[in-house]
Structure 1
């Protein structure tokens, strides 16, 4: 069996992607305003940058799990993890369409779906199951939504922008085509 000449390049890229995610996870562990976290961005980034679908889903969700080991768990964990899995799927969509505009659209879509999904779960668990309860729940969550938008925008910019800089400076970190020469 002949060794894959692209293998060292793939390892370099993997190391770069994993280190970006690890640094972003550390940012979740330092004091920050509510919902200004890198997790949505990590999920989008993982979906968009890992060629292997299993890694694209597993690594971002594992990073969330690892940080939750330090921060604690709560009743909405399944909903939150499911919502971040949707962000990974948005990243998979973005994978072959990556541009500044599409990245912005995917980031906004991820923030909105997180807001809608997690606050619906909050309504079901903690508010009266009425139209007024639903409205009260979503209105109370607006400040958190603003923070989610801000955090997702900042961390997506850092992750995707940082990767673009690394790929520009170090061509070995660029993703190689699945078929044919580089």
Structure 2
């Protein structure tokens, strides 16, 4: 039998990612943006892509595309440059989170979701905070400077953790509910 070109599972997964991405793009428009900085859906999108897309291109490309497009939009709205110092460390951290989703969430449940979230956010913290070491006069490029950067990043990383849990609960919960109602979405080969 030949595979159908119409793939409802992939389309629904992508629609969930797009819906949650709109919230990330809208966040800088909020007057409380500084207080909610890093309370974003990017970590949840990375874990979601890793958990549900069997195709590695889709699993890694969709979260990275969301990150690139939302970073461009946020840079335009906020006035910050897109290529901020060490930006690629943030992208490496998101790739690591997709890998965590692929490796740890072969079976999606609350336990694997929470474990993947904590490990993914921890990797995001230690990898993305290498970036500020490359910004002039923020932190010295030493182990002590990196340690200070990690300490100063804790409030932002906690927001990232909270955002990953909240958005992840919505995304994973929505798709699992859809799978329960429409069993054909459970087909592993469909994504």
Name the TM-score, length of structure 2 as normaliser.
0.83
Deviation at 1:131, TM superposition (A): 4.5
Q: Return 5+ residue gaps in structure 1 as ranges.
A: none
Deviation at 1:177, TM superposition (A): 4.2
Q: Please say if 1:50 is aligned against 2:53.
A: yes
Match of 2:30 in 1: none
Q: 1:39 to 1:112 in 2, by over 3 A?
A: same
Q: Please say if 1:150 is aligned against 2:162.
A: yes
Match of 1:97 in 2: 107
Match of 1:80 in 2: 90
Contact kept, 8 Å, 2:59 with 2:98, in 1: the verdict is: yes
SS of alignment partner, residue 30 of structure 1: helix
Deviation at 1:124, TM superposition (A): 4.6
Query: Alpha carbon RMSD of aligned pairs, Å?
Result: 2.0
Deviation at 1:121, TM superposition (A): 2.5
d(CA) in 2 for partners of 1:177 and 1:114?
28
Q: Return 5+ residue gaps in structure 2 as ranges.
A: 28-32, 76-81
Residue 28 (structure 1) aligned to one of 17, 24, 39: 24
Q: Which segment drifts farther, 120-129 or 85-94?
A: 120-129
Name the TM-score, length of structure 1 as normaliser.
0.86
CA deviation map 1:15-42 (0-9, x unaligned):
1100000011101012251100001110
Contact kept, 8 Å, 2:48 with 2:171, in 1: the verdict is: yes
Deviation at 1:60, TM superposition (A): 1.0
